[in-house]
Structure 1
Amino acid sequence: MTSSRASALGRRSATWAAAAVLGAVTALVGVSPAVAAPAGITEGSLNWGFKASFRNYVLSGDGNPPIAASDGAAINAGGTFTFPSTGGSYDAETGETNATYGGTIVFSYPAHFFTITLANPTVTVTGGTAVLKADVELESTAFPPVDVTQATVADLTTTGTNPVAGVDGITGTDLAATLTAEGAAAFAGFYAAGETLDPVTFTAATSGGGEPGGPSVTVTPSTGVDPDGATITVDGADFDPEANDAAGIYVSFGPLVDNYWTNASVLQVTKWVSSTNEPTDSRDTMNPDGSFSTTLPISARYTDRNGNAVDCTVTQCYVITFAARGSADRSQDTFTAVTFATPAGGGSASQEIAATVLAGGPLTLSMAGSSVTLPPVGNGAVTSGALNAATVADLRGTNAGWSLVGQVGDFAAAGGAVIAADNLGWVPTASVVDDPLVGAAGTVTPGTVAEPGAGLGSAHALCTSDAGASAGTFTCGAQLNLGVPASATPGDYTATLTLTLS
């Protein structure tokens, strides 16, 4: 039995393109009666998807899995994430909030050389502004690593009515989020500061400083529920039977998604509970004191009204209460997690597996970016930077060998100034991408160093793989070194470096 307090709460010749990442959040307060001091937050949740386009990009990749949730975080049916409250503080008099949430989300895209971990988000509200913080870790063979604790990753847009603050908690709903400069740096500059992120919804509730508590729900049973189907009992207390013209509440079961109060098509079952209802299969009665008791027939797996399969053993599902008839009032919202038993089983079976390996797979090239900006430099000096990593995948099955060759044109500036192409040199690097499949590993060799002044005005090998050991996936990179002649005219110069795989 569990009780939940309300929420106040990737050919032969190729050019390339690269990876990307992130976004932000903002919104605020209208405060209810004061309490003497900040109170500890005891309950709540944070719902955020980071950035939908980034989730879709990662889901198209080769991660196993591409996106994973752990440590209490859950992936919702719509792809966003729910993080449970771990505490913090809330001052009902000033609206100042430091709400902490737990859980870890991992974005993995090995073919594009990164794993990003986002964990332990925090919402801070102070002085009419709000921000979202989080622990961020980037592991990559193509970018410098990042490991920051509680980076301010997003500004949240607040209004006079959002978040809503009360005596015993605060709720922010669909707060617009914008990536901060600190967030952009934490995510290795994949996105620029100011990028729009997914909106943020959060709740944080306290004990209320001795004031009456908000609505609460007890679900029996809430754990070990039969995944094939069971009837659970939902008991509610301290709801407001007169709120929203006595329209009552909906008591539902399903995953927590964005705008859940108007997105009922994803829910498995819903009952309408109000003071004017007589009990039926789809309705129940709320008592004058705001209490009720009703039942919901649920199962772990179902198909929602959009035709999508929902599996509550994979996605965390909840008993959710919210104001009826699409009301914007969030004071009647509660979320009580329900978990299902792992089916018992045993026995063994065998099958013969046959497969055909087709001839003539691809030889492909992809890049982790399309531009490089070198640091400013004076005449007679050298400026250096990293070439965007190139990935070569040889899936032909012939082990015929390959080479990746680069050549650059002259650097040109406005007004006709030129720096000769040979002034760009490089120091190549190359490595084999780990392959979890059993087989003979290929080898790759970095090209020779090209010095500024005798550089890439002519073709030079970035990396090669000899016949007999060229199958697999490989990463090739280089340190770029541009020597600026003493006679160079000041200005902004650009050139095109072309990599050719054959």
Structure 2
Amino acid sequence: MISRLRSATVGGALVAALGLAGIGLAGTGAQPAAAADGDVQVTDGTFEWGIRASIRNYLENFDHTEGSISAYNGATYTTGDSAIVFSKASGWANESQGTAEVSFDGEVEMLGFGESWLWFDNLRVQIDGESADIVVDMTESFNTKEPTADVVLASYPVDGDTIAVADGSVSLNLTDGLFSTAAWDEHLPKLGGAPTYGPPNDMVDDASASLVTEGEATDPEPTDPEPTDPEPTDPEPTDPVPTPTVDPDPNDEVAYGVSQGEPLSGTESYITVTPGYALDADGATLVRIEGFNFNPGPATEPGTGSGGIYVGFGQAANPGTEEWRRSKGGFTGPGADLDYGSPRFVAHQNSADGEVADAMMDASGYWSFTVEVPGAAIPSFFGGGEIDCLASQCGVFSFGAHGVINADNEAYTPVYFTGQDESDWPPRGDSDEPPVSAPEQLPTLADLTDANRGQVSILNVGTTNLTAQVPDDLAGSWIGAVVLSDPQFAGWVRVNDAGRIDVRLPGDLAEGDHTLAIVNAAGDVVGWAPFIYEQPEPIDDNDDGKTTPPSTEKNPHGESTGTNEAGATLTVSPAYELADKSQVVTLTGEGYPTQNAAGSNFGGAYILFGWIDPDAGTDWAPSKGGTTGFTYVYIEGEDNQSIVSYPGNTTTPGFPEMDADGNWEAEYTIAASQFTAFNQQIDCYEVQCGVITIGAHGQANAGAEVFTPVFFDADGSSIDDDARPGAAAGDGGTSGNATGNTVTGNGVNTAVLQSQNDGRTLLFASALIIALGVLGLSMLWAAPRFSSRR
């Protein structure tokens, strides 16, 4: 019940502030006509309805949602089921008139981002001959925190097959339903004020009832087929179509070529993967994923856009068809139409969460990022085993993010591994191969002249990557990227069809003026252009005019240990007189839980740095109802978040792992003594900051919740016990990240927060950043940018 209390307390107060408490009278259920001749009395039975598969999938399988679905008091549901089953039917039905009213026992709570999305009971099916309504009593929803009776949640058209009476039993079959206006406008979440589940994205799952009439036996069998789990086409989704395998030639296994997908029906977007052929089936292969002609979203001011796509490496149940597409009713998960590993996030143009995305579209719909594919066996994002890319064709898929169906941006490109049939692969000689090593001699600034400047222009400089335009005649070729003044080779990059390159910047690049030079395989300069690299500075003062004490001469020393009620301890060394930027500390954890609250080794403990509210006591923690941005605040961004895994957990390779007793050790970099996050300004000279651990993957685990204080002065005397974080000026994003990969925005929802003053939106932003930070590399791809931190 903790989750409900948290949801009601936080959400209720905020809804009151927004004046939404009175919403809910509109859209109440109309009562059908009273019982008439021909009525059949219903005495028992069940009703099966999944509400909507994509919502269940989103809340249950995407870690950043911290979601769950619970059914009780007469309703049953287990994660992964195709429907919730409601029991103890009571009411009547009239087949000849096409009318019915049947009520069912059961209570359902769908949680996401610390909020109840839909929490209801007393479900009724009311059919008046023209439409069939599913009516519920809403205890609480994402946008309406007050109880609301008789809410029409969904409506279905009625035809001759809707009600069937035969052999003393009644069946109800509801298809092609839609959320009601009340559901998508007053109850379900919105993004930037726009209804996420409004038309044309208002579809709901089919539903069915198997009812017992007076005098008949109870415990009926559910109708067949289950409406929310449509009959699979041949071959079955759980039995992928095999592709012939051959023994690879050991002399011919270097990955090569470009695999380019064809636009799907009704779209212009497509994806290329380089290299796309002969990827190592037993090891990692570095590939570049590029998207072309995608719908970039509305043209907005920089930092104000929203939304995007997920890009995942996976496998369709029926290769060669478009049945996997969400816009065509496709389902995702093991045994469904599409199964994939952990997806990457590509933001729409000018998105507010572009800094935490793996890539951001430009105005033409182009995007790119570079990742490692770990081999032909891909752990499913949904759990339950691996995706075997030698048994059936795998590839890169894209689809709308955050549960939004976006047909324009659905795309697929196949990718091929050693061990597959090579008969249809392009000859290796037809593809340019990147040079195997860096040029023997890198150019210096003296080598860059007007004569060899070429037509190179810098399009965008991010915190980790740079995008440049090069001459069109280089399209498709490999060129070397060199960053000067002190020349550093940034790698061989392939020029895409649009004449663009995406260069990963050196991790130790200093702020200031630099130059990008491009060279050919012989090391000759073929073009160059200057650029400026910047990263935000930490905040230097607070609203009261205080400034951080001088920190020119410091001697980090000592250690500090925190503990929790379960006995777990976290020791930080050094812990006193820490540097104001990029302080490396050693963390030693002892007695941590070795499983999550559900008894599985999936997950572990997040490692964060920030502040906890001393007034909250131990209730700052997620297991006690604590909330990100309220009872605890941490520096955002992937380089400021780490994880220690439970013993045997393999979803976050390269990060530390606990031993069987819950003991572990790791190095961690504290980015800055001052930072802004979640619209709050934190000065660790005034408020008590420290290292925080909490349960990972949205799974609250009291045993893993520890706070260990650290100090930036010699003895902690500068800290004011009564001080609180100040309100942030500007965009409210994180600043103070001294590692070079600074997050300067709270994601898409920060812009919404500023315009609506809606604190609930902050929960979206905080969870999204966690998901796209340290968990962005889990399961599927290990991005090279994390290697320097391990």
TM band (smaller chain): 0.3 to 0.5
Query: Counting helix residues as a fraction of each chain, which structure ranks higher?
Result: 2
TM-score normalised by the chain length of structure 2: 0.27
Query: Counting strand residues as a fraction of each chain, which structure ranks higher?
Result: 1
TM-score normalised by the chain length of structure 1: 0.41
**Greater relative contact order: 1 or 2 (C-alpha under 8 angstroms, separation 6 or more)?**
1
